[in-house]
Structure 1
Amino acid sequence: MRRNGLDPIEELARARDGEGIVRVETPFGLPAYLVCRKEDVRQVLADPARFSSATPLPGAGQDDVTAGQLIRLDPPDHTRLRRLLTPEFTVRRMNRLEPRITEIVQTALDNLERAGKPADLVAHFALPVPSLVICELLGVPYADRGEFHERAARILDTSLPVDQRVAAQREDHDYMAGLVARARADPGEDMLGMLVREHGDDLTSDELTGIAGLLLLAGHETTANMLGLGTLALLWHPDQLALLREDPELIEPAVEELLRWLSVVQSLPPRTTTTDVEIGGHRVPAGSLVICSIPAANRDPALIDAPETLDITRGTTGHVAFGHGAHHCLGAPLARMELRIALPALLRRFPRLALAGPDERVEFRAFSLVYGVRALQVTW
């Protein structure tokens, strides 16, 4: 899942445009089939009966840790839990958050400016905005952000030994379990409190812990990396940046194009075939691990013309940056809203925004399951 700057590595494109599916070894040392074409990726993600998300991974046996983790569940368990959460993530419900998100963005911009140039866009803007939003939504103390950011980095870092990543998952579970216990004793007005009040008898504490942990991890990691990487993409494509500055109405298609072109989620959790299947003309035996490459699928020529080109005027393209099927990202409306508010606000506040230093000094999160930049020094 390596990357070359903002682009997927050439081997992914060759695999997609060639056989479409190749054998690889996962970071856990297990063999798997890597699916690279858009239609094949959609086939896998849309069929939980033949491609199960309940895939045992190293560290299995921790049933309490994986309980409530929607991305690792199949129907009917997945259906039951998602039905409880879906009302909280509708576009209408997310729109109610817009004034508060706007405040959070403006405060982060104030802090970035106060830090003085050059300043790290990731530390002062890209990471704080989604972190505070998801903390307030869930009822997680923002003061604890340093700890859960560090744990998230270890969980997602495929270069670390498996036991260290599993230990980080355990630490994260224990932390969230403490929050769930407090919410059960005194439920607040946040989402965790709502789940306790309205569904406390239907959800075990381990399920509540898993749900909250997943939402916290996904809620800040993906959007934070989209904000950092998206800003870098625009700075490296000044023609696209100029278009967005000249016409703020382009922000919606720009967000969709950045989501497609960057594909910060490099792959979704592996599926396990429950029977012999055919993917893109290839037979895959029952019991095989299958991994979907999101960057390869989103740059498939079958999806869109000139897929390697960043073109913010395209609009919606049917990308799979948020997944597809039953596991389509629950928080997609929230992520889109944060990006639509934060990116234009950044460009308005700093009309002369630029990188502070040569391009080659940008350090990417090369081994993270959620791709991004470790830091982004900017000036204005």
Structure 2
Amino acid sequence: MTAPTSTGSPVFDLDAPEHRSDPHPLLRRMRERDPVHRRVNRVTGLSTWYLTRYADVQQALHHPDIGRQPERLPAGLAARHRRGDADPLAVVRRNVFHLDPPDHTRLRRLLAPSFGPRTVAAIDRRLRQAVLAMVDDIAAADGEVDVIEALALPLPVRVVADLVGFPLDDLATLRRWSDEICRSGDMARVHRAGCEFVGYVNRAIDARRRDPGDDLLSRLIQAQGAGELSRTELVSSVFQLLLAGDETTVNLIGNGVLELLRHPDQLARLRARPELIDSAVEEVMRFNGPVGHARHGYALADVEIGGTRIPQGDLVIPVLLAANRDPAAFPAPKVFDIARTPNRHLGFGHGIHFCIGAALARLQARAAIGTLLHRFPRLRLATDPADLSWTPTLFLHGVRRLPVLPYGR
């Protein structure tokens, strides 16, 4: 969507470069001064509403009249959204991330068994072996190491390939496509990488149809043969699994290591009590999570959020980072506390779109962060945190590089 402009209220630009390294002061001002913040799109004339209070974000995430499919709107409103939509990957949006019930319910039911305890436990064993090998490589390096490049980037794509059933020999290519789509910011490169990946998935489907295996791709192919999903939905679902399961976990690992190194008291606490790793990961999700805001939804009818009427057809963006530091929901929200309990953060979403891969993301963060800290007791940042480069928009929120000195020189 074309960037909207503010009207009638303070100007808050979430994607302004000066806020990328630390959006939280801006989000606090929005939450306090204009928690249901309206901006108007120059192209469509439609409004976008940014929600920053916990209660409002939670309400929007499970509101039955806030959907993700613009075609559910009256034809005129849907057409206005299409005129302002420059999505280069629109053809692969038939997946649980972009659909509403009943299609969302049907596809999620087909995917859910592959994210159950038995599958996750099997992947956990293999991912721990992969983490140990990556940390061994870090240990062999002389001097500065980039945690993102050495650990956070290669791990999630390996896990997704394991889950779906892609050959490990293709990891570098999958990694390149994911980087191009999520990190380049160039619409032509995004479209080219998306087309290349779709072609790869189609070839994989044809090959696996001839030679099925014990993997998610084979199960989805079987479901397609039974008429439970279309070929487009099959390709789109696999496409989304790579993107959603990859970049967000990269950011979670990177942000987690960064926050622990920026909070030495909590790092020492975790070293003294390794059993806190689970709650530490949850606190990273709350304090500085990998996704700044949920995907925009469409007001399918007039809705009221936080005492404000949002007209049918307008966009609604729940800002997760803001909700997760709302003092109305969390005592001392600006304090990074790895033993925080309860911790009902919204970092993985809420309602029907709660992240289906949350368990896998937690496993990877726990293994990567815990193993790294255990192996390198003198680990420290190799640069001033103020000099770190961050993702260009708030939707995906993470550092691009995280240089560290494993041996604390």
TM-score normalised by length of structure 2: 0.85
For residue 66 of structure 1, what is the aligned residue in structure 2?
93
Tell me if the contact between 2:254 and 2:398 (Cα under 8 Å) persists in the aligned partners.
yes
CA deviation after TM superposition for structure 1 residue 32, in Å: 0.9
The 5 A counterparts of 1:228-243 are 228-243=254-269
Superposition deviation, residue 96 in structure 1:
2.8
What do residues 135-175 of structure 1 show as CA deviations (whole Å, max 9, x unaligned)?
111112344334433433443359545x5544544443333
Answer yes or no: is the 8 Å Cα contact 2:144–2:404 preserved in 1: yes
How far did residue 247 of structure 1 move? Answer: 0.3
Deviation at 1:60, TM superposition (A): 6.6
Alignment partner for residue 268 of structure 1, among 284, 290, 294? 294
Of residues 110-119 and 99-108 in structure 1, the stretch that sits farther from structure 2 once superposed is 110-119
2:55 maps to: 39
Match of 2:38 in 1: 23
State the 1:27 CA deviation.
12
Quick one: distance in 2 between partners of 1:152 and 1:226?
16
The aligned residue for residue 86 of structure 1 is 112
Q: Residues 40 and 196 (structure 1 numbering): CA distance in 2 closer, same or farther, change over 3 Å?
A: same
Question: In the alignment, what sits opposite 2:344?
Answer: 318
The answer to whether the aligner puts 1:346 opposite 2:372 as a matched pair is yes
**Is the Cα contact below 8 Å between 1:51 and 1:274 reproduced in 2?**
yes
Q: For 1:119 and 1:157, how far apart are their aligned partners in 2?
A: 20
Instruction: Single out whichever of 117-126 and 360-369 deviates more from structure 2.
Output: 360-369
Task: Give 5+ residue unaligned stretches, structure 1.
Answer: none
Distance in 1, Cα, partners of 2:119 & 2:21: 33
Change (3 A) 1:60 1:361: closer
Q: 1:165 to 1:257 in 2, by over 3 A?
A: same
For residues 10-33 of structure 1, give each alpha carbon's deviation from its aligned partner in whole angstroms, at most 9, with x where no partner exists: 232111122311123679987411
Secondary structure of the structure 2 residue equivalent to 1:71: coil
The equivalent of 1:124 in structure 2 is 150
Structure 2 residue 386 is matched with structure 1 residue 360: yes
The root-mean-square deviation of aligned C-alpha atoms, in Å, is 2.5
**What is the CA–CA distance in structure 1 between the aligned matches of 2:398 and 2:219, rounded to whole Å?**
33
* CA distance in structure 1 between the partners assigned to 2:56 and 2:385 by the alignment: 35
- 1:292 is aligned to 2:318: yes
1:283: how far off? Answer: 0.8
- Is structure 2 residue 177 aligned with structure 1 residue 151? yes
1:184 aligns with 2:209: yes
Tell me how far 1:337 sits from its aligned partner. 1.4
C-alpha distance in 2, partners of 1:325/1:120? 36
Structure 2 unmatched runs, 5+: 1-13, 71-80
Q: How many residue pairs end up in the alignment?
A: 377
